[in-house]
Amino acid sequence: MKRLVFIGSNPAVSSRTGRPFDDCASGDVLDVWLAKLGLTRARIIIDNVVHKTTTDNRPLTIAEIRAGAAQLQLLYADERWNLIVPLGNTALRACQIARLPIYEYLPHPSPRNRRLNDKAALEKQLLDFKAKLKKDKII
């Protein structure tokens, strides 16, 4: 059975545990998306490009992205088992550097992300993704 692997950039400064998307802001948005997709955290893998917070939530450097990409490549390169879903441009770039097969791309679920302002486009993207998951018998 294939595994859905959602990949973010790095834990937020507000992270409660250092695990991916456990902060109140982005984590809550991601949980709403998962529910709309018919998924739960227990049914997917959530990982980050980098496993440490950055000072003041600064963007990751290219060196940090490359180092994280190498780790992601080791963990998730086998497309027979892994369906990669990068969350945001930093995660997408790391996945591209790692040459991971991208199953679907979603914007980063941070409330600061201006792409989330277009609610209709986001809803359509989530509906299309859900249809793809059904077609591929993931859900």
| Residue positions counted in the chain | 139
Task: Print pLDDT tens along the chain (139 aa).
Answer: 789 999 999 877 666 676 788 877 899 999 999 999 999 999 999 999 998 887 777 889 999 999 999 999 999 998 888 999 999 999 999 999 999 999 999 999 998 899 899 999 999 999 999 999 999 999 9
Residue with tokens 């997408």: 92
- Please provide the distance, in angstroms rounded to a whole number, between the alpha carbons at the two ends of the chain: 11
Q: What pTM was estimated for this model as a whole?
A: 0.93
Domains in the chain and their CATH numbers?
3-135 (3.40.470.10)
Specify whether the CB–CB gap between 94 and 49 falls below 8 A.
Answer: yes
